[in-house]
Amino acid sequence: LLDEVQTGGGPTGKFWCYEHFNLESPPDIVTFSKKMQLGGYYLKQEFIPPQPYRVFNTWMGDPGKIVLLEAILDVIKRDNLLATVQASGKVLMEGLGSLQKEFPTLLNSLRGRGTFLAINAPTTQLRDDMIGRLKKKGVQAGGCGDLAIRFRPALIFQPHHADIFLDIFRHVLKDING
Mean pLDDT across 142-169 = 97
Alpha helical stretches, state H, 43-80: 63-78
Residue 65 banded pLDDT, cuts 50, 70, 90: confident
Element (H, E) at 43: strand 40-43
Spell out the domains of the chain, with CATH numbers in brackets: 2-78 (no CATH), 81-177 (3.90.1150.10)
* Helix 159-177 / helix 81-102 crossing angle, nearest 10 deg: 20
147 in Cβ contact with 140 (< 8 Å): no
CA dist 155 and 35 (Å) reads 9
User: pLDDT (tens digit, 9 = 90+) per residue, 93-145?
Assistant: 999 999 999 999 999 999 999 999 999 999 999 999 999 999 999 999 999 99
